[in-house]
Structure 1
Amino acid sequence: MKRISIDRFHTYSEITDLLEGWAASYPNLARLFSAGESPEGRQQWVLELTCHAAGKASDKPAYFINGNTHAGEVSGSAACLYTIQHLLTGYAQDDLCTHILDTRTIYVMPRVAVDGSEYYLTTPNSVRSAPRPYPDTAPADGLTPQDIDGNGMILKMRFPDPLGEWKISEQDPRLMVRRTPDEFGGQYYRVLPEGLIHNYDGVEIKLAESAFGLDFNRNFAANWFPEHKQEGAGPYPFSAPETKAVADFMLSHKNIVGTLAYHTAAGLFLRPFAHLSDDRMPPGDLDIYKALGVLGEETAGLPTFSLYHQFWDPNSLTLGSFPEWAYEHYGIFGLEIELWNLPKRAGIEYPGGFKGM
């Protein structure tokens, strides 16, 4: 049986190879099909996991797991692949894995942003969701990060400037630290990403807006608003074939009763609402979300935050997201899990939540 590699992230062809191998090795437990095709011709694979000898997949309550809605958050697809491998290898060996596949159906879409993640993994560049120009097709003015020297990386550049905000660290000359407001008479620098400047005016070097501004997690139909109110929303709900494929898949599988989306950033679970306070949610639903939060903290050691109250500034809402659509339009309990936590790894705690991040 093919197994995932834990020392790197997998490309599209490697994920395809793994999924096809698992479907071939476990014909009674795994079936592979495509939920849709991306603009660049890649399949949005879904692996259906259930014991077919114990009943039809469509007759069992199902859970839908997806990852990599955002192209660079590749830990999400890694978690999806690990989930698949754990369930398949655990069947008939582990009581819980066996019970799950005998009585439930698990649908796993390891990678939503199939084009964007391939771009992220195979080039030095970053992209939010898809390498397609949005909202403008013309290059934006300013500095666009680019691998100028062809070494496969986009690094930071420092150059001397008496008005610069940075100075070399006394502890490590490779590091830059902030200059304090009352400092003068030293060697100071400006720090910018490696790249090219478009339409330089000879004075200001500003960072250009990304050419690829579409955000799949702002393109779902629940509480969708256009670009002037929600950056990255797309021209209309489900305008991205990738998000439409997710919605179409769920709408064609009415046995789905819950969903979890793997993201990467803050080390926590996120739940609706994103646009309303908790007192607007039906009390019974809020109780269930809180109970799920307790379970998540007990099993994964991660807290559960409200998108509205704790994760974002209520004056700058997150509109058109997947868990909102799953809850408000599809009618199930949707959660996101943010894997990893860079600030915490650096020793920084946010006791009041993650507002403004």
Structure 2
Amino acid sequence: MAKLKYDSFYRYEEWTGILKQIQSEHPSFVRLISLTQTKQGKQLWLAEVNDPSTGPAEAKGAYYVQAGLHAIEGAGVTAALHILHSLLTVDSYRDLLKRVAFYIVPCVDPDGTDYALSAQVDIRNRYEPTFKKNELMPQDINGDGYVLQMRWRDPLGLYKEHPDEPRLMIRREPGDEEGVFYHLVQEGLIRDYDGTLPVNPRRVDFNRSYPVEWKPSAVTSAFPFSEPEMRAIAEFQVSHPNIFAGVDFHCGTHAVLRTAYKPDQQFHAGDLRTTLQIGKLAEEIIGFPLMSTDHYNFGGTPARLNGNSNDWAYAKLGISHYVIEVGFGLTSIGLQSDEILRSDDKTREEYTRRLLAFHDERGSRIFMPWRTCDHPQLGEVEVGGMMVGNARFMYPPDMTEVVPRTTGFVLKHASMGPRLIIANAEAVHLGARLFRIRATIGNIGALSTDVMQEGGSPDMKRPVTVKLVAGGIGILNRSSVHQTDSLAPAGGSLAVEWFIRAEESRHTVVIEASHPRTGTVRCDVSLKDS
């Protein structure tokens, strides 16, 4: 199996090639599923990983992994591939595959990720034109293959070069008259230009398009799941009730993010306790601080991130789910999470200077010199500036340390799923081929069968079902099937009992207990005349 690379980030053809190679080398363990086609015709691949010797994936509890939900987050793609690679190459993980299936989507936004890596463009996912006058339409104007920035001199310009680092453009202070001032916009053409300063295009953010707490804004999709990639992801998750947990890899300030669907004081106590306990475990294994999504923003003031994957996973799916922020440019220069999140404009200027110096020392390029260009609408402009893709991404070699730790948590998290056993099964002969069958169904996993008690919509909650599977018997109970809404973790149990009449030829019966998030367990019970 090919080794993963840590010196650069994967583009579509590369990571799809890895998926196909892994599938060809492990055809019984890996199945590739195309969830949909992107707007540019790429396949949205999901890798189903499962040990078929213990049954199909849909008959087991499952763990869901996704990455590349944002275009400028290439390290997450590598993190997802590392999980897939580890499951098939590390012997100690093979036992986990016998009882847990994995669904891995290495890159939710193949179109945007390739665009960000090739054009070095500042984009969350994709642009959506509004067809307004003076709307900037990003594109390569000077033919260098990138979509960077444009600047032109104007005494009314709002930007100027940093006095100590001319590569860095900074905001003009009120009353400042010293130096040369510029207008600064993204490289591109301007729709119906009338001489007014261009306005930025509308940017669609996939992680603001989940329907839970969705609100229309400048970055949400037209309506929840209107983007084909997001709709396909949602349809897969809802149609697979065996998923009990998952992660969503992003690339920002180091953090393990938990849902902020409700304020903690309004959260179901058991759900909050489970979320915090597993989150703290992630903090220990990965080394990143556990945070709530509403505290994960610059300035330190709580802010609602409407329509995100964590809230969807809790409120709709009812699973144990975290967003893992594996890092970006500012973490590569050694900044801690609290330093980044509490920063203001001035400190971020200093951080960018340090980032430039960091890449200068290593010979990696994050700045394109300004070059004069004849713009068809603006006349003479300069094109260049920060190469946002390289500057925003973490320094690739950092992945060698971070990625194995994230895999360590994911596989530990996956091992904590609900797990049914059948204990104390017995058949007592009552005479004349009448028997009383008793057993206890227990959950020895670290999560309840519902996983979240209040989280999850009603259609996603399934009962634990227990029944006898055997021909040649008559079940005398009023109900032949036992059910319970949920079994608590680490010892939750249900006592079951049947009275049956068995034919002379019947010597055993089978007790079968099942739940989508655990799969099915069976126990043979011998019928012996006393």
- 29-38 or 138-147, larger mean C-alpha shift: 138-147
CA displacement 1:43-78 (0-9 Å, x = unmatched): 221111222224432232211000111222222212
Aligned mates of 2:270, 2:113 — CA distance in 1: 38
Q: Structure 1 residues 122, 178: closer, same or farther in 2, change over 3 A?
A: closer
TM-aligned CA deviation for residue 31 of structure 1 = 1.8
Q: Report the residue type matching 1:110 in the other structure.
A: P
Find the partner of 1:105 among 101, 105, 127.
Answer: 101
Q: Structure 1 residues 193, 127: closer, same or farther in 2, change over 3 A?
A: closer
Aligned mates of 2:334, 2:159 — CA distance in 1: 22
- 68-77 or 160-169, larger mean C-alpha shift: 160-169
CA contact (8 A) 2:62 2:100 kept: yes
Find the partner of 1:278 among 243, 253, 264.
Answer: 264
Q: Structure 1 residues 300, 145: closer, same or farther in 2, change over 3 A?
A: same
Tell me the residue number matched to 2:284: 298
TM-aligned CA deviation for residue 250 of structure 1 = 1.3
Aligned mates of 2:149, 2:223 — CA distance in 1: 36
CA contact (8 A) 2:294 2:302 kept: no
Aligned mates of 2:55, 2:64 — CA distance in 1: 18
Aligned mates of 1:304, 1:175 — CA distance in 2: 33
Q: Structure 1 residues 107, 149: closer, same or farther in 2, change over 3 A?
A: same
TM-aligned CA deviation for residue 355 of structure 1 = 7.8
Which structure: greater strand fraction?
2
Aligned mates of 1:187, 1:353 — CA distance in 2: 30
TM-aligned CA deviation for residue 165 of structure 1 = 5.3
CA contact (8 A) 2:121 2:148 kept: no
Tell me the residue number matched to 1:288: 274
Aligned mates of 1:175, 1:356 — CA distance in 2: 17
TM-aligned CA deviation for residue 252 of structure 1 = 2.2
Aligned mates of 2:223, 2:184 — CA distance in 1: 37
Find the partner of 1:224 among 209, 214, 233.
Answer: 214
Tell me the residue number matched to 1:337: 324
CA contact (8 A) 2:77 2:107 kept: yes
Tell me the residue number matched to 1:209: 201
Q: Secondary structure at the match of 1:32?
A: strand
CA contact (8 A) 1:140 1:208 kept: no
Q: Structure 1 residues 21, 349: closer, same or farther in 2, change over 3 A?
A: closer
Identity of aligned residues (%): 32
TM-aligned CA deviation for residue 41 of structure 1 = 2.7
Aligned mates of 2:65, 2:98 — CA distance in 1: 18
CA contact (8 A) 1:125 1:146 kept: no
| 1:10 maps to 2:49 | no
Aligned mates of 1:152, 1:222 — CA distance in 2: 38
Q: Secondary structure at the match of 1:47?
A: strand
Instruction: Summarize the alignment of residues 102-141 of structure 1 with structure 2, pairs less than 5 Å apart.
Output: 102-130=98-126, 133=128, 136=130, 138=131, 141=134
Q: Report the residue type matching 1:68 in the other structure.
A: G
TM-aligned CA deviation for residue 260 of structure 1 = 0.5
Q: Report the residue type matching 1:152 in the other structure.
A: G
Q: Secondary structure at the match of 2:123?
A: coil
Aligned mates of 1:170, 1:252 — CA distance in 2: 57
| 1:267 maps to 2:254 | yes
CA contact (8 A) 1:261 1:335 kept: yes
Q: Report the residue type matching 1:150 in the other structure.
A: G
Q: Structure 1 residues 352, 309: closer, same or farther in 2, change over 3 A?
A: farther
Q: Secondary structure at the match of 1:273?
A: coil
Q: Structure 1 residues 277, 189: closer, same or farther in 2, change over 3 A?
A: same
Q: Structure 1 residues 277, 60: closer, same or farther in 2, change over 3 A?
A: same
Structure with higher Rg: it is 2
Tell me the residue number matched to 2:23: 23
Q: Which runs of 4+ in 1 moved over 6 A?
A: 312-315
Aligned mates of 2:240, 2:233 — CA distance in 1: 11
Q: Structure 1 residues 36, 178: closer, same or farther in 2, change over 3 A?
A: closer
Tell me the residue number matched to 2:468: none
Find the partner of 1:146 among 139, 147, 150.
Answer: 139
What TM-score comes out, normalization by structure 1 length? 0.83
| 1:351 maps to 2:351 | no
Q: Secondary structure at the match of 1:84?
A: helix
CA contact (8 A) 2:294 2:303 kept: no
CA contact (8 A) 1:218 1:319 kept: yes
RMSD: 3.1
- 63-72 or 189-198, larger mean C-alpha shift: 189-198
What TM-score comes out, normalization by structure 2 length? 0.58
CA contact (8 A) 2:295 2:303 kept: no
TM-aligned CA deviation for residue 311 of structure 1 = 4.0
Q: Structure 1 residues 347, 9: closer, same or farther in 2, change over 3 A?
A: closer
CA contact (8 A) 1:277 1:308 kept: no
CA contact (8 A) 1:277 1:309 kept: no
TM-aligned CA deviation for residue 109 of structure 1 = 0.6
CA contact (8 A) 1:143 1:205 kept: no
Tell me the residue number matched to 1:33: 33
Tell me the residue number matched to 1:252: 239
Aligned mates of 2:315, 2:138 — CA distance in 1: 38
Q: Report the residue type matching 1:278 in the other structure.
A: D
How many residue pairs are counted as aligned between the two chains? 343
Q: Which stretches in structure 2 are left out of the alignment for 5+ residues?
A: 345-530
CA contact (8 A) 1:76 1:263 kept: yes
Tell me the residue number matched to 1:69: 69
Q: Structure 1 residues 292, 5: closer, same or farther in 2, change over 3 A?
A: same
Q: Secondary structure at the match of 2:338?
A: coil
- 337-346 or 65-74, larger mean C-alpha shift: 337-346
Aligned mates of 1:188, 1:39 — CA distance in 2: 40
Q: Structure 1 residues 120, 342: closer, same or farther in 2, change over 3 A?
A: closer
TM-aligned CA deviation for residue 297 of structure 1 = 1.3
CA displacement 1:136-189 (0-9 Å, x = unmatched): 2x2552545432211122344555445555555554554456666676554555
Aligned mates of 2:56, 2:272 — CA distance in 1: 32
CA contact (8 A) 1:33 1:45 kept: yes
Aligned mates of 1:117, 1:109 — CA distance in 2: 14
| 1:318 maps to 2:305 | yes
